[in-house]
């Protein structure tokens, strides 16, 4: 099972020989080599061996099991003499809603009444699985819409063979749908790229000033077509550790949204500043704003406040989830302030890389 390799392991701890039971070295070696936390119980249920990671689950105290479900499993094994398996959910800590999803296997060993308990933590695998399932369901729906439209439009073109005006109209719509498909595929590629690399481990230093300028440059055409001025305000130098490509992608998405969800002739302000060891990039618009009830959901994949408007602007519903991933991947976060009818401000925060010079602000008008 490949996923088992992802479970983080510490060196196992032979806690056991103490209670008079001698553990065969081969058994200890075997347990140590398995990607699971493990416990060995002697015939009286005293713990004679455990891996250090067991402590995370708070299943034991003073060399005995204290978890009822686990004790029941052990009893069932003692009664039947056969291996038992169960899934268990345990809280990750005293606060919060996080849970460990555990697969527990209890096996009788030899004739001395010894029992081995193997605990596989599949929380991460389940979380990824849930995301994958949810993503596949959503993506199929999102792909079906433009593909369905293309199919209907191509039929319409065939039926309008002697009406050149209608053909042009249908062809234009086909082009728009094809562009939407291309955008969707590009964002899916962006999103999947974000999920595999850890930008903090690459060791790249990102010049945030240049990254913000480049992201703004990429939006020049759409800003011009909507007569929106994008105004930058950046210090001389701000550096973070991470991926330049990802940061540009995220800032670009925020500016592009600010433009798309604003009336013509308004202003989008992009500011980079440093405060208390944190670099902050904010993108403010004078646009339609976001209803309070949607604020919590806009960073979800495919969530849109107004699907029709998002489609009309070529939106895919993936932009903000990419922004959120980029922020999290860099050890930062993203937040939003918005008032319907007044505008929105999105703020990304990144921890600074060491040795940043004191910033001085200057304003730059984007082309
Ligand atoms: P989309 O591709 O639909 O723009 P996003 O993930 O980028 O998808 O954004 C999700 C939704 O959040 C959008 O559909 C829109 O309803 C809302 N939204 C995002 N940015 C803004 C903004 N600057 N002003 C108003 N609404 C916004």
Long-range contacts, 32-37 (Cβ 8 Å, 24+): 34/118, 35/4, 35/5, 35/7, 35/9, 35/120, 36/4, 36/7, 36/118, 36/119, 36/120, 37/118, 37/119, 37/121
Instruction: Please identify, by atom number, the ligand 1 atom nearest to the C-alpha of residue 288.
Output: 25
Q: Cα of 302 to ligand 1 centre, how many Å?
A: 10
At residue 354 the predicted structure's pLDDT band, cuts being 50, 70 and 90, is low
Average pLDDT over the chain, rounded to an integer: 84
Distance CA 228, CA 216 (A): 12
Instruction: Please identify, by atom number, the ligand 1 atom nearest to the C-alpha of residue 305.
Output: 16
Mean pLDDT over residues 56-63, rounded? Answer: 87
Tens digits of residue pLDDT in 253-299: 999 999 999 999 999 999 999 998 899 999 999 999 999 999 989 99
Residues 288 and 268: beta-carbon distance below 8 Å: no
More confident residue, 15 or 178: 178
Instruction: Please identify, by atom number, the ligand 1 atom nearest to the C-alpha of residue 304.
Output: 14
Residues 233 and 269: beta-carbon distance below 8 Å: yes
Which pLDDT score, from 0 to 100, does residue 18 have? 42
Query: Residue 27's closest CA among 106, 120, 121, 115?
Result: 115
Best substitution site from 219, 250, 257 to test ligand 1's pocket, by max atoms within 8 Å of Cβ?
257
Q: Cα of 273 to ligand 1 centre, how many Å?
A: 24
Query: Residue 283's closest CA among 312, 247, 307, 240?
Result: 247
User: Is the beta carbon of 285 within 6 A of some atom in ligand 1?
Assistant: yes
Residue recorded with tokens 């234009």: 172
Is the model's pLDDT at 186 over the cut of 90?
Answer: no
Which pLDDT score, from 0 to 100, does residue 355 have? 53
Which pLDDT score, from 0 to 100, does residue 180 have? 85
Out of 7-11, 74-78, 79-83, 209-213, pick the least confident: 7-11
Proportion of the chain above pLDDT 90, given as a percent: 52
Which pLDDT score, from 0 to 100, does residue 50 have? 92
User: Is the beta carbon of 304 within 6 A of some atom in ligand 1?
Assistant: yes
User: Is the beta carbon of 310 within 6 A of some atom in ligand 1?
Assistant: yes
Mean pLDDT over residues 124-150, rounded? Answer: 79
Is the model's pLDDT at 192 over the cut of 50?
Answer: yes
* Domains of the chain and CATH, by start: 2-121 (3.30.450.20), 122-196 (1.10.287.130), 199-367 (3.30.565.10)
Q: Cα of 124 to ligand 1 centre, how many Å?
A: 29
Is the model's pLDDT at 233 over the cut of 60?
Answer: yes
Instruction: For the chain, list the strands marked E by DSSP.
Output: 37-41, 47-50, 60-61, 64-65, 84-91, 99-109, 114-121, 205-207, 229-235, 239-241, 267-275, 278-284, 333-339, 343-351, 361-365
Which pLDDT score, from 0 to 100, does residue 303 have? 87
Q: Cα of 251 to ligand 1 centre, how many Å?
A: 13
Which pLDDT score, from 0 to 100, does residue 126 have? 73
Both tokens of residue 147?
Answer: 């593909």
Instruction: For 66-113, list the strands marked E by DSSP.
Output: 84-91, 99-109
Tens digits of residue pLDDT in 116-132: 999 998 776 776 777 77
Is the model's pLDDT at 91 over the cut of 70?
Answer: yes
Instruction: Please identify, by atom number, the ligand 1 atom nearest to the C-alpha of residue 289.
Output: 25
HSE-CB at 16 with a 13 A cutoff on CA atoms is 25
User: Is the beta carbon of 290 within 6 A of some atom in ligand 1?
Assistant: yes
Is the model's pLDDT at 4 over the cut of 60?
Answer: no
Query: Residue 27's closest CA among 38, 11, 43?
Result: 38
User: Is the beta carbon of 296 within 6 A of some atom in ligand 1?
Assistant: no
Q: Cα of 313 to ligand 1 centre, how many Å?
A: 10
Residues 301 and 319: beta-carbon distance below 8 Å: no
Which pLDDT score, from 0 to 100, does residue 312 have? 72
Q: Cα of 298 to ligand 1 centre, how many Å?
A: 7
SS3 316: coil
User: Is the beta carbon of 299 within 6 A of some atom in ligand 1?
Assistant: no
Best substitution site from 302, 304, 346 to test ligand 1's pocket, by max atoms within 8 Å of Cβ?
304
Q: Cα of 320 to ligand 1 centre, how many Å?
A: 7
Q: Cα of 137 to ligand 1 centre, how many Å?
A: 21
Which pLDDT score, from 0 to 100, does residue 124 have? 64
Long-range contacts, 183-186 (Cβ 8 Å, 24+): 183/314, 183/316, 184/142, 184/143, 184/146, 184/316, 184/318
- According to DSSP, residue 304 is labeled -
Is the model's pLDDT at 2 over the cut of 50?
Answer: no
Best substitution site from 270, 282, 309, 320 to test ligand 1's pocket, by max atoms within 8 Å of Cβ?
320
Q: Cα of 325 to ligand 1 centre, how many Å?
A: 16
Which pLDDT score, from 0 to 100, does residue 12 have? 46
Distance CA 82, CA 324 (A): 48
Distance CA 34, CA 27 (A): 11
**CB-count burial class (<10 Å; 0-12, 13-18, 19+) for 311:** middle
Proportion of the chain above pLDDT 70, given as a percent: 85
SS3 361: strand
Is the model's pLDDT at 202 over the cut of 80?
Answer: no
Mean pLDDT over residues 6-13, rounded? Answer: 41
Q: How many CB atoms sit inside 10 A of residue 105's CB?
A: 17
Query: Residue 228's closest CA among 170, 300, 286?
Result: 286
């Amino acid at each position: 099972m490949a996923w088992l390799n992802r479970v983080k392991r510490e060196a196992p701890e032979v806690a056991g020989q103490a209670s008079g039971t001698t553990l065969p070295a081969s058994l200890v070696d075997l347990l140590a080599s398995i990607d699971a936390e493990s416990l060995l119980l002697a015939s009286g249920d005293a713990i004679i061996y455990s891996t250090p990671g067991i402590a995370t689950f708070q299943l034991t105290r003073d060399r005995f099991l204290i978890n009822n479900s686990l004790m029941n499993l052990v009893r069932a094994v003692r009664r039947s003499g056969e291996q038992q398996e169960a899934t268990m959910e345990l809280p990750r800590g005293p606060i919060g809603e996080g849970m460990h999803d555990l697969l527990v296997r209890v096996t009788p060993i030899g004739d001395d009444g010894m029992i081995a308990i193997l605990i596989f933590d599949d929380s991460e695998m389940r979380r990824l699985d849930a995301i994958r399932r949810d993503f596949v369901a959503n993506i199929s729906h999102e792909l079906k819409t433009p593909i369905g439209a293309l199919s209907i439009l191509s039929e319409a073109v065939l039926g309008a063979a002697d009406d050149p005006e209608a053909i042009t109209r249908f062809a234009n719509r086909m082009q728009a749908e094809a562009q939407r498909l291309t955008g969707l595929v590009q964002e899916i590629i962006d999103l999947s790229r974000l999920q595999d690399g850890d930008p903090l481990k690459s060791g790249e230093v990102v010049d945030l000033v240049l990254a913000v300028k480049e992201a703004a440059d990429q939006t020049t055409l759409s800003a011009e077509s909507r007569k929106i001025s994008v105004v930058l305000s950046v210090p001389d130098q701000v550096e973070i550790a991470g991926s330049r490509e990802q940061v540009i992608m995220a800032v670009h998405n925020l500016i592009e949204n600010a433009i798309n969800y604003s009336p013509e002739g308004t202003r989008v302000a992009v500011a980079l500043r440093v405060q208390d060891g944190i670099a902050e990039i904010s993108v403010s618009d004078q646009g339609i704003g976001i209803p309070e009830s949607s604020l919590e959901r806009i960073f979800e994949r495919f969530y849109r406040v107004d699907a029709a408007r998002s489609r009309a602007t070529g939106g895919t519903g993936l932009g903000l989830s990419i922004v959120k991933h980029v922020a999290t991947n860099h050890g930062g976060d993203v937040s939003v302030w918005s008032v319907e009818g007044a505008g929105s401000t999105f703020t990304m925060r990144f921890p600074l890389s060491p040795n940043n010079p004191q910033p001085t602000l200057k304003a730059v008008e984007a082309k």
